[in-house]
A and B are shown apart, each in its own frame.
Chain A
Amino acid sequence: AQSVTQLDSQVPVFEEAPVELRCNYSSSVSVYLFWYVQYPNQGLQLLLKYLSGSTLVKGINGFEAEFNKSQTSFHLRKPSVHISDTAEYFCAVSAIGNEKLTFGTGTRLTIIP
């Protein structure tokens, strides 16, 4: 079984400052990793994914994440946030060969003007 830990339930950041949202996972098998964003009253939108290859993954809206196998982490970063980035961010994992997604509890990103 897989599990995902998002230690920070809320992260306040000033506009134009950098941000890092942390995600750690646990799995006994190889995994795929994802970040999804949920804007208020909307569904989940895929930000980026790691399937294989380069450990640095670039996604939409200027976000990127780095897969670190030794630390079992997949932290999400953005060098300069905007008010429009206010949302809830979910890290998710699926075991290769098993399509079920296991989600973390989410991190609410609040941008301070």
Chain B
Amino acid sequence: DSGVTQTPKHLITATGQRVTLRCSPRSGDLSVYWYQQSLDQGLQFLIQYYNGEERAKGNILERFSAQQFPDLHSELNLSSLELGDSALYFCASSLSRDQPQHFGDGTRLSIL
């Protein structure tokens, strides 16, 4: 158990819809990262938050947004969903720059 909690585990929805994925980091970790794992793109970094502020952005689509709340949990919002958004979305957290990232079990998003 990594200590990172992601909900829900599975999400099935239709094209054009909007969903919210939730992540609770390990106790004490200030940084939260979001990654997307798909068959064609592999594991890709989406975005990072540190103590409520956006710190780094990767290959995140404009239809996607995220935020980190004062209690340090984070949400990834995906809107105007397309079939190609079907993927496993991982959240990770770390204590600091020099510490490794610990991953949750992911949310599997299926777009029908």
Contact = CB atoms under 8 A, between A and B. Distances in A.
Interface of A: 32, 34, 36, 42-46, 49, 51, 90, 97-106
Contacts of A97: 97
A34 B33 CA distance: 16
Main secondary structure, interface of B, reads strand
Contact of B42 (A43, A46, A100, A105): A105
Interface of B: 2, 4, 31, 33, 35, 42-45, 48, 55-56, 58, 90, 92, 94, 97-98, 100-106
Given A100-B48, A103-B43, A42 B105 contact: yes
B100 A102 contact: no
Contacts of B92: 44, 101
Given A99-B33, A100-B58, A36 B103 contact: yes
Given A46-B102, A99-B55, A106-B43, 13 more contacts: A32-B98, A34-B100, A36-B103, A43-B2, A43-B4, A43-B104, A43-B105, A44-B92, A46-B100, A46-B103, A99-B33, A100-B33, A103-B44
